[in-house]
Amino acid sequence: MFHTTHVPSSVAPHGAPPGRMHSEPMPDGVLEELRRRGHEVVEEARWSLGRICAVGRNPQTGILSAAASLRGAQAYAAGR
């Protein structure tokens, strides 16, 4: 699991460090290759990333769909 912090944060002061990525452990050589290609890699612990929630609405039917990742054990997704 990995994510980038290149997109501006929604929380002030809205940091956006270009080229930075946070990664859980990867197979041998992967993170080294990303660094070689110019990425700033921040290594994180296993199962520490990926707490994701999403809600969507189908504009044709009005049906709401929601999902929450099981990582982190406290994720909920709801729509109204």
Give per-residue pLDDT as tens, 47-79: 888 777 788 899 999 999 888 877 766 677 776
User: 59 and 42, same structural domain?
Assistant: no
Higher pLDDT, 20 or 74: 20
> 27 is in which domain, residue-wise?
2-49
HEC sequence for 26-67: CCCCHHHHHHHCCCEEEECCCCCCCCCEEEEECCCCCCEEEE
Hey, which of 13-17, 32-36, 54-58 has the most confident mean pLDDT?
32-36
User: 64 and 34, same structural domain?
Assistant: no
User: 45 and 20, same structural domain?
Assistant: yes
pTM score > 0.75 for this model? no
User: 13 and 45, same structural domain?
Assistant: yes
